[in-house]
Amino acid sequence: MNDESPPHALPSPPQAEPRSAPQAAHGYRWNDEFAWLRSQRWREAMRDGSALEPDIRAYLEAENDYCTRSLEGLADLRKELFEEYRGRIVEDDASVPQDEGPWSYYQRYEVGGQHPIFGRRPRGGGEETVLFDGDAEAKGKAFFQVGACEPSPDHRLVAIAEDTSGAELWTLRFREVETGLWLDDSIQGTSGSFEFLDDRTVIYTVLDAEHRPRTVKRHVLGEPPENDSTLYFEEDPGFFVGLSRTESQRFVTIDAHDHDTSEVWLLDAESPSAAPVRVATRTVGVEYDVSHHGESLIMRTNAGGAEDYTLASMPLSALGADEARNSWRELLPPQAGRLRLGYHLFRNHLVVIERVDGLPQLVIYDLSDAQLTRERKVSFSEEVYSLGLVGAREFDTQVFRFVYSSMTTPQRTYDYDMSSGERVLRKEQILPSGHDPARYVAKRLMISASDGEEVPVSILHRADVPLDGSAPCLLYGYGAYGHAMPAGFSLTRLSLVDRGVIFAIAHVRGGMDRGYRWYRDGKLQKKRNTFSDFAAAARALGDRRLVDASRIAAMGGSAGGMLMGVLANEHSELFSAIVADVPFVDVLNTMLDETLPLTPPEWPEWGDPIRDASAFEYIRGYSPYDNVREGPYPHLLVLAGLSDPRVTYWEPAKWVARLRARKTDDRLLLLKTNMEAGHGGAAGRFEALEEVAFEQSFLLHVLGAM
């Protein structure tokens, strides 16, 4: 462990007052002495920070001040890093336009602008119409984020979802494109999910008092929002509701789901006043999503034991039937290890994005072949890479779009002709300050976990930095909800690598990096595999003398921040520093409180410790806050957001308070709470880069790589 001293003599850290707060469950009693850091008015405080109790605010601000003063000697480095990031950005950048009807839609940035500007031009070229100017709308607001800007089917209006608190509490507004005038319609308290059903009808989801999207409403433009009719209400507090529109534009889907079960209802755009119709009754453990093609519905599903998912079809005529599942017909047979991640339908083709052996691939099927026996794969040559399916805004087209990058190759946007197989490069990410991919090396290693599983580790290093045990390393991980960690390009990561740091990603269990089984083996009563996989990766990097074992830092956020908390408690000897970004570390107390926004929906991921004593004991055994020990810890930087509805601010605050009381070393322990943002941090693109510079300057300092 690196014992490098701070940049100057540290001020005295704040000490939160311990207050008695007895807790009990399943015959076990404990004291949560920092429970008072949870605001009694947390719902109000999440929306408006001024509602926070004075003693809580005083503690958070004292920690922020201590963090600032502790790292003030790194101010020049932070500025240097920020200028490097900015030098890699084309400031007046624009997305590749997407055609829809008579228009081409895109978003762009102005030089110096923080927020996107949404615009359109006539298809084929012509004068720009600005649909929404994010910079103009953000003026005077401490936080501003636009979540979506979507045109109505007749292209006369746009709907905008915007958040002004960071609490992911979205307001929907509507604007006439031709005149630029805002309609009086303003719908507050939404989750940001909405779809036009027709030119004047909008379907949207509403957040309940616990910040959960459970209600779907129909709004007719020009009518008072308080008169909006309720189309769907989800009775189960463990299910969230989202909306999407089929590529054919025929249906809006209402998707009710938790982490392993789903149920879909359809709204028919041809009958905009009709009630939604259920596709198939939910069955625990069965997931399906729905699109539409001709006289059929197309579904990606794990029904029938298809763990890595299959595609199936169902005739529209069976919609609404009691036993609709009986009409499902398999289109693509399931193949173990070939994980179907998603798909995009066109009139004549089907594009599926899959992951095989940890790497994504695109597969195209011609729908004139009813059996889908012929497939064409889009191939890539690099050893590790990232791939995203953009699709298209139109149904009747031969061309779809995808985005490719690798750890060494900047992002490239391609249009692919599904009939000819021609691939056209539409945009390549340019770094104005220069970038030579040959200066870097990316590779993938396999590390043996404690139970013999082979864990992929993606590595990026400068070509002239040898893997001989001399260089420091930053090891990143997540491992939850089935989210795989893409090995894509990062313009900020280069600043670490250029200074001799080896960057690595441990693709641990809990994600779907190696199929659904990889996820299943990293959740519930197998959650500890996530932690042991990451520790095994760090240990192997040192033992193989690929990196300097005394200078390994770990980093993760949200559920990956929980991983960081467990590592700090149980494997601190492996790491010289840990960065925990909005870390989910108060796992037991949060999962015991079903009034919190994410608790009931999270039980299929972590277990229900309220009703299940074995889940209680298992979570209690690893929950980072509950297992803080007396002893030394690595250098720690902990980041939080006051308005965060996902990982509430008091989780990292309580964890740091208990760490201060129990750790026995003088290494850095810093808590920085963004008092004006939530889970994603600052929304402005340059403000976000300043936050990255703060994190990286800390890492470079404690790793001795400045």
> Cα–Cα–Cα angle for 328, 331, 334, nearest 5°?
100
- Asked if 591 and 602 count as a contact pair (C-beta separation under 8 A), the reply is yes
Quote the pLDDT of residue 11. Answer: 83
Beta bridge partners of 256: 241, 263
Rounded distance between C-alpha atoms, residue 218 and residue 242, angstroms: 14
Structure tokens at 113: 């602008």
Q: Which residues of the chain have pLDDT under 70?
A: 1-9
> What element of type H or E holds 135?
helix 134-138
- By DSSP bridging, strand 635-641 and strand 669-674 are parallel
Q: Which residue of the set 115, 259, 344, 679 is catalytic?
A: 679
DSSP H or E segment with residue 698: helix 685-702
3-state class percentages of the chain: helix first, strand second, coil last, to nearest 5? 25, 35, 40
Q: Is 260 exposed, middle or buried (0-12, 13-18, 19+ CB in 10 A)?
A: middle
Helix (H) or strand (E) holding 76: helix 75-87
Question: Any idea how long the chain is?
Answer: 706
Catalytic member of 32, 644, 697, 701: 644
Strand ranges across the sheet with 296-301: 288-293, 296-301, 310-315, 329-332
pTM: 0.96
- Report d(CA 290, CA 312) in Å as an integer: 10
How is 647-686 classified by DSSP, letter by letter? S-THHHHHHHHHHHHHB-S-S-EEEEEETT-BTTB--SHH
How many helices (H) and strands (E) are present in the chain, helices listed first? 13, 37
Yes or no: say if 375 and 363 are a contact pair by the CB < 8 Å rule. yes
| 227 and 260 Cβ atoms separated by less than 8 Å | no
Closest CA to 207 of 194, 223, 219, 220: 194
Active-site residue, selected from the candidate residues 558, 572, 576, 697:
558
Specify whether the CB–CB gap between 221 and 200 falls below 8 A: yes
Contact 348, 369 (CB under 8 A): no
679 is catalytic: yes
12 has catalytic annotation: no
Could you tell me if 536 and 448 are in contact, meaning their C-beta atoms sit under 8 angstroms apart?
A: yes
Dist CA 270 CA 201 (whole Å): 12
644 given a catalytic annotation? yes
Give the span between the Cα atoms of 216 and 233, in whole angstroms. Answer: 6
